[in-house]
């Protein structure tokens, strides 16, 4: 009995240990939301796309600019975190022009801002606000000054030596370049990495991670760059000691978003938090990025109240290097159901353990369908229809009483054009109103228009009379229009592969190999079949119904009937009567040969 009681005791201990090991880590405080209420009535106007940065030296948050109901602003407010009091600050010196959606950050006693939009103007100037005197100073600029933009990634880290500005939009063009402004040298340095870059975009979620690294989520690509809104997430890192700089793509998980906001995760400098944004589907849901692994998790923080879904808000981490467990994130303003707000929400806690998880929302990449349909069209069916029209006119096969080349041509070409139209529609769906922002898209529009003109041209073809000048003109127009569209289409398929390879951050060498082999096959096939076609024309070869080139063998002593091929592919004997118009209409077609 003693050994049984001993075994029972050991079993209980083992079970307790296993349960403890499997239980969630709740050593830190779980994330939770709470609405922070100012202690006085004075407050800034509700607004979106403002600067919202934590000033550790004075335990306050600084608010600048943004868009209110009355328009763009350039006022400065501070929110005291000890007393929960708003104060509008009177500033000295020339103020920056009104603006919104800029990059910013605080180092020591200075707030730095750059870029943004002011009315019809986009900016790339750099300003410093002294937080002890509230005096504005415009900093000089030299070096590789970036073009004006707004909705960019980057900012200033609290121990940084400069400001990062990446991507963004100037109302006409989206950018994919990256710049660094050195506070000491007061000049811009372009730090765009070589190789793969995130597609040009704007309206991204972003936060600085270290003095020389930041993250960028979602945004609006459009114009052939990437979807709008996007689900892509990237981390940029630079090392000025060895000159290295690169972008790393992280895993997908949060939904497709633009106008979202990011900040450091409380108590953990290796994580960042993403919240809100246009197209967000649930209020209060927080997306957490583990920076070293690039993995995302989606959690629902606790709390008696949850902020409504919002966009164009701003976030900042109230950090405490001496006590990371006391850190929290403050969310300000934005748009809620189309209305501007000046609410302040607090996200506190240092762990997500035990919180309800939300499933990742891996959206389908419609670029795959665009590429597939365009390849089926311009890379397979349409060239095949042209080959049939050029090289099958000697075949004696007549399915349904029609020349084999015409039978194939009039089936394959419409199907190919339908696939091209589907690919075009998916491209428009992906890119939106900035459709023609890339050469690939411009070529695509031109090729699609040329392709659609071909069936219209074929419908109005004249009677195939060798003496008919209109027929000859139509032939050249149809032939060369089709050939031009086919060649440009094949080239544009390659351009699309190249463009995708610049931004997808995956090894696409297999696609390059397939495209190269396909192009080689088309060129070799065209040359080889052209040689055989020339022999056939010279020696009266026939292309049998078995699709093998065979000579027109005649019995010894029998005369060989002279034949010639009309432009619609039906052999005409020198002794045969001319065809009637009715018979021509059954056999004639648009040949792109």
Supply the pTM of this predicted model.
Answer: 0.73
11 domain residue, yes or no = no
388 domain residue, yes or no = yes
Residue 187: the pLDDT is 98
What region, left, alpha or beta, does residue 67 occupy, with left being phi > 0 and alpha being psi -120 to 50 degrees?
beta
C-alpha distances (whole Å) from 386 to each of 160, 218, 379, 406, 464 are: 61, 42, 12, 10, 19
560 domain residue, yes or no = no
Angle between the N-to-C axes of helices 509-539 and 469-503, in degrees from 0 to 180, rounded to the nearest 10: 160
Q: Are residues 304 and 431 in the same domain?
A: no
Q: Are residues 373 and 479 in the same domain?
A: yes
369: which 2 tokens? 């369908």
The distance from CA 155 to its chain's CA centroid, rounded to whole angstroms, is 22
570 domain residue, yes or no = no
- Picking from 162, 225, 232, the residue whose alpha carbon sits closest to that of residue 204 is 232
What CATH number does residue 262 fall under? 2.120.10.80
C-alpha distances (whole Å) from 570 to each of 286, 328, 469, 473, 538 are: 70, 82, 20, 20, 17
253 domain residue, yes or no = yes
Per-residue confidence in pLDDT tens, the chain, 593 aa: 444 444 444 343 333 333 333 333 445 789 999 999 999 999 999 999 999 999 999 999 999 999 999 999 999 999 999 999 999 999 999 999 999 999 999 999 999 999 999 999 999 999 999 999 999 999 999 999 999 999 999 999 999 999 999 999 998 889 999 999 999 999 999 999 998 889 899 999 999 999 999 999 999 987 656 778 888 999 999 999 999 999 999 988 898 899 999 999 999 989 999 999 987 777 889 999 999 999 999 999 998 889 999 999 999 999 998 899 899 999 999 999 999 999 999 999 999 888 888 888 776 777 778 888 988 888 889 888 888 888 888 888 888 888 998 899 889 999 999 999 998 888 877 776 666 667 788 888 888 888 888 888 888 887 777 667 877 788 788 888 888 888 888 888 888 877 776 666 666 777 778 888 888 888 888 888 878 777 666 554 444 333 433 334 333 444 434 344 444 444 333 333 334 433 343 333 334 43
What does the alpha-carbon distance between residue 565 and residue 396 come to, in Å, rounded to a whole number?
Answer: 12
Residue 236: the pLDDT is 98
Residue 452: the pLDDT is 86
C-alpha distances (whole Å) from 87 to each of 91, 342, 373, 506 are: 12, 14, 59, 50
Give me the domain span that covers residue 312.
Answer: 29-359
| E strand map for 470-584 | 541-543, 549-551, 563-565, 571-573
Bridge partners (DSSP) listed for residue 129: 111, 136
Q: Are residues 349 and 400 in the same domain?
A: no
Q: Are residues 115 and 162 in the same domain?
A: yes
Q: Are residues 348 and 370 in the same domain?
A: no
Angle between the N-to-C axes of helices 439-459 and 404-431, in degrees from 0 to 180, rounded to the nearest 10: 140
The set of long-range contacts for 121-128, using a CB threshold of 8 Å and a minimum separation of 24, is: 121/97, 121/148, 122/147, 122/148, 122/149, 122/150, 122/169, 122/170, 122/171, 123/97, 123/99, 123/148, 123/149, 123/150, 124/148, 124/149, 124/165, 125/96, 126/163, 126/181, 127/96
What does the alpha-carbon distance between residue 183 and residue 116 come to, in Å, rounded to a whole number?
Answer: 19
Cis peptide before 229 (omega within 30 of 0): yes
Residue 23: the pLDDT is 38
Q: Are residues 96 and 47 in the same domain?
A: yes
267 domain residue, yes or no = yes
| Cβ atoms < 10 Å from Cβ of 402 | 19
Give how many domains the chain has, as a whole number: 2
What CATH number does residue 377 fall under? 1.20.120.1770
- Residue 254 has φ and ψ, to the nearest 5°, of -60, 160
Residue 428: the pLDDT is 78
Residue 191: the pLDDT is 98
Q: Are residues 458 and 326 in the same domain?
A: no
**146 within 8 A of 179, measured Cβ to Cβ:** yes
469 domain residue, yes or no = yes
- Residue 110 has φ and ψ, to the nearest 5°, of -125, 135
- Picking from 544, 493, 547, the residue whose alpha carbon sits closest to that of residue 519 is 493
Q: Are residues 196 and 246 in the same domain?
A: yes
What does the alpha-carbon distance between residue 125 and residue 568 come to, in Å, rounded to a whole number?
Answer: 66
| Cβ atoms < 10 Å from Cβ of 564 | 10
Q: Which of 359, 379, 395 is the last residue of a domain?
A: 359
Buried b (16+ CB within 10 A) or exposed e, 327-345: bbbbbbbbbbeeebbbbbb
Q: Are residues 417 and 477 in the same domain?
A: yes
Q: Are residues 340 and 472 in the same domain?
A: no
The structure tokens 């002890």 sit at 132
Residue 393: the pLDDT is 82
**451 within 8 A of 418, measured Cβ to Cβ:** no
Q: Are residues 76 and 106 in the same domain?
A: yes
What does the alpha-carbon distance between residue 181 and residue 109 come to, in Å, rounded to a whole number?
Answer: 18
Q: Which of 307, 339, 359 is the last residue of a domain?
A: 359
Residue 369: the pLDDT is 85
Q: Are residues 488 and 352 in the same domain?
A: no
23 domain residue, yes or no = no
């Amino acid at each position: 009995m003693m050994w049984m009681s001993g075994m029972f005791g050991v079993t209980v201990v083992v079970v307790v240990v296993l349960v403890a090991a499997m239980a969630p880590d709740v050593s830190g405080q779980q994330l939770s939301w709470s609405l922070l209420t100012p202690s006085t009535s004075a407050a800034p106007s509700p607004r979106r796309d403002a600067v919202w940065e934590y000033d550790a030296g004075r335990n306050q948050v600084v608010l600048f600019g943004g868009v209110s109901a009355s328009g763009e602003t350039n006022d400065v407010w501070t929110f005291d975190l000890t007393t929960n009091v708003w104060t509008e600050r009177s500033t000295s010196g020339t103020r920056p022009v009104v603006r919104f959606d800029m990059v910013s950050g605080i180092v020591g006693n200075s707030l730095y801002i750059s870029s943004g939009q002011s009315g019809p103007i986009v900016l790339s100037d750099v300003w410093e606000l002294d937080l002890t005197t509230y005096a504005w100073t415009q900093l000089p600029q030299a070096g590789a000054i970036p073009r004006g933009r707004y909705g960019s990634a980057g900012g200033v880290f609290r121990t940084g030596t400069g400001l990062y500005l990446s991507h963004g939009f100037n109302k006409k063009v989206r950018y994919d370049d990256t710049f660094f402004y050195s506070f000491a040298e007061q000049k811009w340095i372009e730090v765009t990495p070589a190789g793969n870059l995130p597609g040009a975009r704007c309206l991204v979620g972003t936060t600085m991670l270290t003095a020389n690294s930041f993250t960028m989520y979602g945004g609006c690509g459009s114009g052939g760059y990437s979807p709008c809104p996007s689900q892509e997430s990237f981390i940029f890192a630079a090392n000025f000691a060895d000159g290295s700089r690169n972008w790393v793509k992280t895993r997908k998980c949060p939904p497709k978003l633009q106008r979202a906001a990011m900040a450091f995760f409380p108590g953990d400098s290796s994580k960042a938090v993403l919240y809100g944004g246009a197209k967000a589907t649930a209020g209060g849901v927080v997306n957490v990025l583990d920076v070293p692994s690039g993995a995302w998790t989606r959690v629902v923080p606790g709390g008696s109240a949850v902020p409504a879904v919002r966009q164009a808000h701003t976030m900042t981490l109230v950090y405490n290097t001496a006590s990371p467990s006391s850190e929290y994130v403050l969310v300000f303003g934005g748009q809620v159901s189309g209305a501007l707000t000046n609410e302040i929400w607090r996200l506190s806690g240092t762990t997500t353990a035990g919180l309800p998880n939300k499933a990742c929302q891996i959206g389908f990449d419609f670029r795959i369908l665009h590429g597939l349909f365009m390849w089926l069209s311009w890379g397979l069916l349409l060239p095949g229809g042209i080959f049939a029209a050029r090289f099958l006119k000697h075949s004696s096969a007549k399915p349904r009483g029609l020349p084999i080349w015409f039978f194939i041509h009039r089936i394959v070409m419409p199907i190919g054009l339908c696939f091209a139209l589907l690919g075009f529609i998916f491209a428009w769906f992906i890119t939106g109103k900035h459709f023609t922002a890339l050469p690939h898209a411009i070529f695509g529009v031109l090729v699609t228009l040329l392709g659609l003109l071909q069936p219209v041209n074929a419908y109005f073809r004249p009677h195939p009379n060798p003496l008919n000048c209109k027929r000859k003109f139509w032939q050249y127009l149809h032939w060369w229009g089709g050939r031009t569209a086919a060649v440009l289409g094949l080239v544009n398929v390659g351009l699309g592969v190249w463009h995708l390879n610049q931004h997808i951050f995956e090894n696409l060498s297999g696609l390059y190999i397939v495209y190269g082999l396909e192009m080689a096959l088309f060129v070799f096939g065209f040359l080889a079949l052209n040689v055989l076609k020339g022999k056939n024309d010279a020696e009266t070869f026939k292309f049998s119904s078995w699709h093998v080139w065979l000579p027109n063998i005649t019995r010894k002593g029998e005369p060989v009937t002279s034949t010639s091929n009309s432009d619609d592919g039906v052999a005409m004997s020198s002794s045969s009567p001319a065809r009637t118009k009715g018979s021509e209409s059954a056999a004639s077609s648009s040949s792109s040969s």
